[in-house]
Structure formats: structure tokens, C-alpha cells
A and B are shown apart, each in its own frame.
Chain A
Amino acid sequence: QVQLQESGPGLVKPSETLSLTCSVSGGSVSSGSYYWSWFRQPPGKGLEWIGYVYYSGSTHYNPSLKSRVKISLDTPKNQFSLNLKYVTAADTALYYCARKADYGSLFEPWGQGTLVTVSS
């Protein structure tokens, strides 16, 4: 049973880079045909897809964030990561990682989420 767990700093200063890691257990990020995904949810608001990295390493990003985002695989550590540059208060949110099947809209499982606050 695959499980995902987000980790990273809970506080980031404005204009700096937000960096999070999603650790995967019970499966490998480099085997099978899966997309490894990031989402976020500002407190009290809706969900937003950030992007994903395919098991092969190719990436797809939300057009609204594309200029600031990088998602990558770390296969030796069985993890994938999110980097978001030049953050502002608007980037304050719960950040979730999830796995998506090769085809379709099957995003499952999800991590429990980690809150990142952007503040000086």
C-alpha cells in the first residue's frame, strides 16, 4: 500500500524559495506509469493543482505557476520535490502531494498535507 508524506519548512520569507519533499513508501517513484503530483489549498479555500513529474522525469505545470515552479524526482531517496520561487503571502497554503495513474483522473493516494506560511 503506497503512502505519501510531505515535509519541509513551515515558514518561508517573502521573495525566497519554498522547498518541499514528498517521501513515498510502499512503492517506487521510478517504477510503473505514474505521475507524482503537488497540490495546494490556501486556508479556508479551494484546491489548486501545481504540477506533476512523470516517472520518466518529464514535467507538467499549472500555467499560472509555471514560471516559478520546479518539480523533480529523487529516485535514490524514493522522493519527489517541489520548489516554488519568489513566494509571496498568496503562496501561504496547505501543500499536498499525491500520485496519479498514467491515464485518467485517478489521483490517489494523497499525503496528509503540510502547512507553509509565507511571512517575514
Chain B
Amino acid sequence: QSALTQPASVSGSPGQSITISCTGTSSDIGGYNYVSWYQQHPGKAPKLMIYDVTNRPSGVSNRFSGSKSGNTASLTISGLQAEDEADYFCSSHTSSSSWVFGGGTKLTVL
């Protein structure tokens, strides 16, 4: 059982927007602005898409955005494209000075 809770799957049509939630506790997501999101295509290494809740690394499309409210963080992808189909993982710093992940969400572009 993962420390952070994500939906197992989400889906959307090309051009639509989707949001993936990531729920933790006051000891992780709620306590720190150190939430990140990763995209992982089959057989590939994770790719950082969002860090520190809302920041995008250089080269990541501005169609990807992050937010946080209380103990829940969210990743929104707007203007869905076929290439966005992948697994997405959230991560957060914790009060024990470690890092925890969600179980992952499979995004299907219909």
C-alpha cells in the first residue's frame, strides 16, 4: 500500500483536460510544498513534469500544471494529446525526511 493515494486510472479525449489527484496527510503533502509529478511511458525511466507543487522543469509543456489544497495535490493536463498516454506518479517530502510516492495513475487518451 502506497503512502500517497492516486486513482488507478483516468481517461480523456484529445483536446480535453484531465486532473489526477494525489492524497496524503499533514505529515507529507499538507506539511510541505515539495510535491512532484512524474510521467512514465512503458519501458522508460520516469520523467519529472512538475516539482515544488507548481514548477515545470525546462522543456516540459505548459499544458501540464500542478496545484495543492490541504493534503491533496493535483496534476492537470490540458489539451490532451495521444503522447500524454502514460503512467503518472506523485511524490512528496515527509516529516521523517524521506520521500514517498503514490501508487500511480494510468492515463488513457481515448
Contact = CB atoms under 8 A, between A and B. Distances in A.
A43 B41 CA distance: 14
B69 to A, nearest CB: 18
B30 to A, nearest CB: 15
- Sort chain A's interface into a size bin: 10 to 19
Interface stretch (B11-19, B74-82, B101-109): B101-109
Contacts of B92: 105
Nearest to A37: B99
A55 B23 CA distance: 32
A5 to B, nearest CB: 11
Contacts of A60: 97-98
Given A47-B89, A105-B34, A111 B45 contact: yes
Contact of B51 (A46, A61, A62, A105): A105
Nearest to B53: A105
Interface in A61-119: 61-63, 96, 104-108, 110-113
Given A105-B36, A108-B57, A96 B48 contact: no
A62 B98 contact: yes
A23 to B, nearest CB: 15
B70 interface: no
A35 to B, nearest CB: 10
B98 A113 contact: no
Interface of A: 39, 46-49, 60-63, 96, 104-108, 110-113
5 contacts: A47-B89, A47-B101, A63-B98, A110-B46, A110-B48
Which 8 residue pairs spanning A and B have beta carbons closest together?
Answer: A49-B99, A105-B36, A105-B34, A47-B101, A106-B51, A108-B48, A104-B52, A110-B45
